[in-house]
C-alpha cells in the first residue's frame, strides 16, 4: 500500500470499517475521443492503485456516449496506456454502450414517475430559461406534457423520427436550484451518427450525467473517483440513483484535483488541434504530454508512477512544475542505463604522435551504480570531439581543451593541442594534437593534472546516427494557444557520431550520452541502417547550464560538475542528509536534493531549523530565496541571518503574513538587513484574516462577475482561482489565501 494516506484512501478505509462496502470496486472511465495524457496516468494510478491496496478490483470502461467523436484507435490507446503503466482491469473492457438498453429502460421509469420530460425548446431559449446565479430559471411549457405523450415522443426520438436538436429528454428537478447543474439537466439528446460499436441502432444517446452514475451502479462500483470539474455534477449523480430507488449498495462520487503542469496543455481540444493541424507529428510525438508521446520519448512507467505518487492527491487544483516530472525520469534512469559516448557536433582531432589502433576497456556504469557491463572502444590517430569542447579563446572557468590546456579523453589518454587548422572563413576544421602514452585511464603515470574529461569517438569505427533533441513544446509557463508554441522544440541532428558498441552490440535501448543527457532508441524509426535516438531529458548541471558558475563555488565543486557533465553521485554524508530530509523531515525530493548537495545551504537550513521547528516551510525558503542570495555571496556577506529567517517562517506559519508577502519581506531583508517583524509592521503587511473585512470584498467581486459565477456553478470550477485572485488583488495581496479560498467557495455554492 502507498505510504501516503491521502484523503481518498481515508474515505475507503472508513467505508470498509463501517461495513458500508464489503469489497472495493473502482473504475477508470475515459471517453475514447483522444489519446490519454499524463493527467489520465494520475487517474489510472489512483483508481487502480486504490483497488490494489484494498484487495478490490478496477474496471476499465469506455464512456462512449458521443458517436461523433469516438474511435476504436482511441480505445486501443487507452487500453495500451493502462497495460504499459503496469495495471490490469477486471474481466473484459467495459463500455457504456453495452448498457444502452438498461439506461433507456431507466429513462422510461423516470418519465413514468413524472421525473423526466421531453422538451422541445430551441437551444437559445433553453439557455435563456435557465436563469442566472442570482435569478431562478423558468421551466419549459413542455414540462407539462403527460407521461404518455413523453413516452411516445421518447420512443420516436429513439427510432430516429426527429432531427438533431429537435427534442431532448430532461430531468424534472428544480429550476431555482443554487447549483445550476440541477436546473432540469439533459438526460438524452438526438444524434444521427453511426456508433463505432452500437452501429445505427440508436438515434439518441445518454448524457454523461445520466450514463455515468448508472454505469457505475451496474458494475457494482463503490467509489466513483472523478476530477474536480465534476464536483457540481455530484448532485445529479445522487439524484438519478436516489430517484430511481435503486437497491443498495450504491456508488458515491468523490473528487480530486486534476493534474496541471506548466509549459504544457492537456485540453483534449488543444491536443487534437496540434495533431490535426500538423504542429506535431501525431499523437505519439515525444513533445506531447500524451502517454504515447512520453513513451516514445523514452519515459518509463516507473518514472511516471513515481511522479504521480510524488505530487500526491489533493482537493484543490494547482500547477506542478514540469521539472518535477523531469527529475523523476532522471532519477529512474540514473541507476539503470549504460553510459556511452556520442558526439553531436563533431570536430576532427588528429593525434600526430599516435600510431596504429587500440581497443580500450570501458565500463558502461560508474562505480556508484551496482551493475556490470563493459565494452571495447576503438582508438586511433583520428578521432572526433564535441566542437564546444575546444576553445581558442576560452572564458574564465572553461576547463576543456584549449591551446594552453590539456584535457583527458574519457576512458583514454590526455591530449594537448599543438595546432589549430581553419578554413578560409576562419572556422576551425581540425585540431592537431599530441597524446601522452603514460596517461592511459586506469594506469596514468604521466603526472599531468587536468581539470576535465571529454567524450570522443574514433573516426574510423564511429557510427553515424540521427539524434532528435526535444525541448518543451511551449515557450511560456501558462500556454494559452498556438502563439505560445516554442519554435525550437525540436532540433534534428542527422550526422551525430556514436561509439560502435551502441549500435553493434545494443546493450540497451536507453542510454546516457556522456555530458549530453538521456536518450532512447526511437521505437518506430530506428533501424540498423539508420539509428535514431530521442532525447528524453537533459543532464542536471551540464556545462551549458553552468556557464554562470556561482562565485561562491569552490574549484573542486566546479570540477565535480564539469568532468562528466551529469548529476554527481552523492557522497555518503550527502546521501545520509537526503535520506533524513525525505524520510524524517518529509521534504520534497527535489528540495532535499538541493539542500543535501550544498554544504552552505544544508548548514544554513540546520541553523534555521534549530530556531524554528518548521522543516518544510524553512526548506522551501532556503532552497529558493536563500539559495539565490548565496549564488553571489558567502554566508557571512548576507544582510540577514538564520534567526531572521526563523522569524519570517514563524510569521508565515502563524498566518501573520502570506507566501507572497513573505517573498516581499525577504527581498527587503536581503537588501537592508532589517528585522522581518519590523518590516511587516512598518509597511503594514500584516495578513488580513478577519472574515468581516474580506466578505464585503468577495461579495462585490461576485456581483461584478455574474458570467463567471454562472460558469463556475455550471461546472467550471477552475474559475475559483479567478475569484480568489481578484480578492487578493483587491487587498494588495494581504488577504489570507486560505480564508479567501474557503469564503469564496462557500459563497459560490
* Residue 210, CA distances (Å) to 104, 185, 425, 556, 607 in order: 10, 9, 72, 66, 58
Is there a cis peptide before residue 249, judged by omega within 30 degrees of 0?
Answer: yes
Phi then psi dihedrals of residue 570, to 5 deg = -70, 145
Q: What distance lies between CA 267 and its chain's CA centroid?
A: 13
Residue 105: closest CA among 182, 230, 214, 22: 214
Alpha-carbon gap, residue 186 to 184, rounded angstroms = 7
> Annotated catalytic residue: which of 170, 181, 258, 510?
258
Residues 6+ apart with CB under 8 A from 366: 339, 564, 569
Q: Say if CB 8 and CB 46 are below 8 A apart.
A: yes
Q: Taking the CA atoms of the chain, what radius of gyration do you get in angstroms? A: 31
Q: Is the dihedral of CA 743, 745, 746, 747 positive or negative?
A: positive
Where residue 673 falls (left for φ over 0; alpha for ψ -120 to 50; beta otherwise) is left
How far is 129 from 177, CA to CA, in rounded Å? 13
Beta bridge partners of residue 417, listed in sequence order? 433
As beta bridge partners, residue 117 has 170
Phi, psi of 430 (to 5 degrees): -160, 145
Point out the catalytic residue in the list 31, 229, 599, 664.
31
What letter does residue 395 receive in the DSSP assignment?
P
Q: How buried is residue 22: exposed, middle or buried, by Cβ count under 10 Å (0-12/13-18/19+)?
A: exposed
Number of alpha carbons in the 13 Å side-chain half-sphere of residue 474: 21
Distance CA(293)–CA(534), nearest Å, equals: 11
**Catalytic (active site) residue 268:** yes
The Cα–Cα gap between 120 and 569 comes to 69
Contact between residue 193 and residue 68 where contact means Cβ atoms under 8 Å apart: yes
User: Other C-beta atoms within 10 Å of 746: how many?
Assistant: 10
Pick from 277, 332, 677, 694: which is nearest to 520 by CA?
332
432: CB partners within 8 A, 6+ apart: 349, 350, 352, 417, 418, 419, 420, 421
Picking from 35, 54, 32, 48, the residue whose alpha carbon sits closest to that of residue 90 is 48
Q: What DSSP line would sit under 70-104, residue for residue?
A: --HHHHHHHHHHHHHTT---SSS-EEGGGGHHHHH
Of the residues 115, 130, 191, 268, only one is catalytic, namely 268
Question: Rounded CA gap, 625 and 641, in Å?
Answer: 13
CB atoms within 10 A of CB 274: 21
Task: Respond yes or no: is residue 572 known to be catalytic.
Answer: no
Active site members:
31, 258, 268
Amino acid at each position: 500500500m502507498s505510504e501516503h494516506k491521502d484523503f481518498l484512501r481515508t474515505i475507503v478505509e472508513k467505508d470498509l470499517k463501517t461495513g458500508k462496502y464489503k469489497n472495493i470496486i473502482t473504475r477508470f472511465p475515459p471517453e475514447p475521443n483522444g489519446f490519454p495524457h499524463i493527467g489520465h496516468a494520475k487517474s489510472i494510478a489512483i483508481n487502480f492503485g486504490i483497488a490494489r491496496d484494498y484487495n478490490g478490483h478496477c474496471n476499465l470502461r469506455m464512456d462512449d456516449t458521443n458517436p461523433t467523436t469516438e474511435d476504436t484507435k482511441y480505445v486501443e490507446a487507452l487500453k495500451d496506456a493502462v497495460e504499459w503503466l503496469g495495471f490490469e482491469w477486471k474481466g473484459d473492457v467495459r463500455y457504456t454502450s453495452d448498457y444502452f438498453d438498461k439506461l433507456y429502460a431507466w429513462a422510461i421509469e423516470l418519465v413514468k414517475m413524472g421525473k423526466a420530460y421531453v422538451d422541445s425548446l430551441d437551444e437559445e431559449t433553453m439557455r435563456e430559461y435557465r436563469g442566472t446565479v442570482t435569478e431562478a430559471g423558468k421551466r419549459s411549457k413542455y414540462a407539462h406534457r403527460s407521461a404518455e405523450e413523453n413516452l411516445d415522443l421518447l420512443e420516436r426520438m429513439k427510432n430516429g423520427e426527429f432531427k438533431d436538436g429537435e427534442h431532448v429528454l430532461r430531468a424534472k428537478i428544480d429550476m431555482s436550484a443554487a447549483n445550476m447543474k440541477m436546473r432540469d439537466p439533459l438526460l438524452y439528446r438526438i444524434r444521427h451518427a453511426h456508433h463505432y460499436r452500437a452501429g445505427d441502432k440508436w438515434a439518441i444517446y445518454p448524457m454523461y450525467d445520466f450514463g455515468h452514475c448508472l454505469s457505475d451502479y451496474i458494475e457494482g462500483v463503490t467509489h466513483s473517483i472523478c476530477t474536480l470539474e465534476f464536483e457540481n455534477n455530484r448532485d445529479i449523480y445522487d439524484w438519478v440513483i436516489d430517484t430511481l430507488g435503486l437497491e443498495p449498495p450504491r456508488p458515491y462520487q468523490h473528487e480530486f484535483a486534476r493534474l496541471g503542469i506548466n509549459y504544457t496543455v492537456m485540453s483534449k481540444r488543444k491536443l487534437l488541434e496540434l495533431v490535426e493541424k500538423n504542429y506535431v507529428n501525431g499523437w505519439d510525438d515525444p513533445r506531447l504530454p500524451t502517454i504515447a508521446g512520453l513513451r516514445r520519448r523514452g519515459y518509463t512507467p516507473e518514472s511516471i508512477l513515481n511522479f504521480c505518487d510524488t505530487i500526491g492527491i489533493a482537493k484543490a487544483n494547482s500547477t506542478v512544475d514540469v521539472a518535477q516530472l523531469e527529475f523523476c525520469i532522471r532519477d529512474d534512469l540514473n541507476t539503470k542505463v549504460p553510459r556511452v559516448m556520442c558526439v553531436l557536433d563533431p570536430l576532427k582531432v588528429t593525434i600526430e604522435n599516435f600510431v596504429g589502433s587500440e581497443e580500450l576497456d570501458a565500463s558502461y556504469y560508474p562505480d556508484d551504480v551496482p551493475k556490470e557491463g563493459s565494452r571495447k572502444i576503438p582508438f586511433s590517430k583520428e578521432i572526433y570531439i564535441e566542437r564546444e569542447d575546444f576553445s581558442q579563446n576560452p572564458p574564465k572557468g572553461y576547463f576543456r581543451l584549449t591551446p594552453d590546456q590539456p584535457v583527458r579523453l574519457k576512458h583514454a589518454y590526455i591530449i594537448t593541442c599543438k595546432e589549430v587548422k581553419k578554413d578560409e572563413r576562419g572556422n576551425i576544421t581540425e585540431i592537431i594534437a599530441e597524446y601522452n602514452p603514460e596517461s592511459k585511464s586506469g594506469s596514468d603515470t604521466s603526472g599531468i593534472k587536468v581539470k576535465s574529461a571529454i567524450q570522443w569517438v574514433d573516426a574510423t569505427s564511429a557510427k553515424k546516427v540521427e539524434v532528435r533533441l526535444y525541448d518543451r513544446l511551449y515557450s511560456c509557463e501558462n500556454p494559452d494557444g498556438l502563439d505560445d508554441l516554442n519554435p525550437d522544440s525540436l532540433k534534428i541532428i542527422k550526422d551525430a557520431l556514436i561509439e560502435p558498441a551502441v549500435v553493434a552490440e545494443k546493450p540497451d535501448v536507453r542510454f546516457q550520452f556522456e555530458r549530453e543527457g538521456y536518450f532512447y532508441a526511437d521505437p518506430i524509426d530506428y533501424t540498423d541502417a539508420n539509428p535514431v535516438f530521442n532525447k528524453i531529458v537533459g543532464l542536471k548541471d551540464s556545462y551549458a547550464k553552468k556557464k554562470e558558475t556561482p562565485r561562491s563555488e569552490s574549484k573542486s565543486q566546479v570540477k565535480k560538475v564539469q568532468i562528466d557533465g551529469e548529476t554527481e553521485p552523492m557522497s555518503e554524508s550527502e546521501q545520509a542528509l537526503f535520506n533524513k530530509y525525505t524520510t524524517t523531515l518529509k521534504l520534497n525530493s527535489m528540495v532535499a536534493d538541493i539542500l543535501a548537495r550544498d554544504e552552505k545551504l544544508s548548514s544554513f537550513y540546520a541553523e534555521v531549523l534549530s530556531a524554528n521547528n518548521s522543516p518544510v516551510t524553512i526548506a522551501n525558503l532556503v532552497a529558493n530565496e536563500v539559495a539565490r542570495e548565496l549564488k553571489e555571496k558567502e554566508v557571512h556577506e548576507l544582510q540577514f541571518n538564520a534567526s531572521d529567517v526563523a522569524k519570517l517562517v514563524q510569521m508565515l506559519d502563524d498566518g501573520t503574513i502570506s507566501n507572497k508577502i513573505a517573498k516581499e519581506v525577504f527581498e527587503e531583508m536581503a537588501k537592508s538587513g532589517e528585522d522581518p517583524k519590523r518590516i511587516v509592521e512598518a509597511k503594514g503587511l500584516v495578513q488580513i484574516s478577519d472574515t468581516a473585512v474580506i466578505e464585503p470584498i468577495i461579495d462585490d467581486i461576485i456581483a461584478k462577475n455574474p458570467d463567471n459565477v454562472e460558469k463556475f456553478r455550471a461546472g467550471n470550477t477552475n474559475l475559483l482561482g479567478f475569484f480568489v485572485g481578484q480578492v487578493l488583488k483587491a487587498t494588495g495581496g494581504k488577504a489570507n489565501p486560505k480564508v479567501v479560498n474557503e469564503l469564496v467557495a462557500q459563497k459560490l455554492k
